[in-house]
Structure 1
């Protein structure tokens, strides 16, 4: 069975986009989102992030940061990340504004607070379709190396879910097997559209 997957992280678009990039290359039907009020990328200091509105094209962010300080943004991985992102889609999208049409079967988050936000958002929506959606949190540190590891783990889990005859009946076994194999704890919940 073919599923539609969504990848959701906070506001910097690294973990969700790394997973989106890998799953898309593997032929999965996947989208990615952020949950913050703006897209925040590291700046010259912790008190000076680069802040963009959702919908700002990745190319615009890339060009702007390359003009500001190409060495800094290359060294901290932001330019390569933006280059990857623009090969995946035009611009970052916000979960709360774009993902409520009931089109996803499985939603992945990469930190507990985002998991909670997605669950709350789904519960606050008017549930017309009564279609189930599986929400899984795989805790992933927000750096480029961990995002790459998290993307591979997400791919593995997506493959296991798609291979199941009925994910509703086998999700507990899939989660337990994944946790044993990878020594990573998952949180999951079933919600509705």
Structure 2
């Protein structure tokens, strides 16, 4: 069975895009989103982030940050991240505006507050299709190393979900097995389109 996946993080395009990139290379049908009001990338200090509108091409962000301070943004991993992102898709998209993308079978989030936002958003939609969607949160620290680990763990989880005949009947066992094997706690919920 082949599912459609959505990877969702807050606003900086690291964890969801790392997973999107890995899933795309593995041939999965995958999209990625942020839930924040803007895309926020680290700047010269915590009080000076680089803020972009969703829909701003990654190439534009990359070129702008290269002009601003290439050494800083190379050292903190932002330039390589944006280069990776631009190879995956044109620009960041916001979850709340993804209605045109259709429905997903599995939505993965990487922090609990994003999980809560996705569940709330799905709950507030009109449930005209009555199609189930599995929403899973795998807590992943927001740094480049953890994003890579989180992406691989997410791939393992999704391959297990795809391997069963009915994920609705098997999800409890899949989650328990994953948590034991990887010593990572998952949150999950089933919602509808």
How far is 1:130 from its partner? 0.5
Displacement, 1:100?
6.5
**Deviation by residue 1:120-150 (Cα, 9 ceiling, x = unmatched):** 0000011110000000000000000000000
**Deviation at residue 42 of structure 1 after TM alignment:** 0.1
Normalised by the size of structure 2, how large is the TM-score?
0.99
Asked whether 1:144 is paired with 2:124, we answer no
- The alpha-carbon deviation at position 103 of structure 1 amounts to 1.7
- Count of aligned residue pairs for this structure pair: 193
Distance 1:20 1:99 in 2: 19
* 1:157 aligned residue: 157
Instruction: Write out aligned runs for 1:31-180 (5 A).
Output: 31-99=31-99, 102-180=102-180
Structure 2: runs of 5 or more not aligned: none
Cα distance between partner residues in 2 of 1:66 and 1:27:
31
- The one-character-per-residue Cα deviations of 1:79-123 (angstroms, maximum 9, x if unpaired) are 000000000000000000014764200000000000000000000
- Residues of 1 paired with 2:141 and 2:101: CA distance? 29
How far apart, CA to CA, are the structure 2 residues paired with 1:39 and 1:134?
25
Change (3 A) 1:92 1:50: same
Classify 1:114/1:120 alpha carbon distance in 2 versus 1 (closer, same or farther; 3 Å): same
- Aligned-CA RMSD value: 0.8
Instruction: Flag structure 1 segments of 5+ consecutive residues without an equivalent.
Output: none
Distance change (3 Å), C-alpha of 1:78 and 1:101? closer
Matched residue, 2:23: 23
**If the length of structure 1 is used for normalisation, what is the TM-score?**
0.99
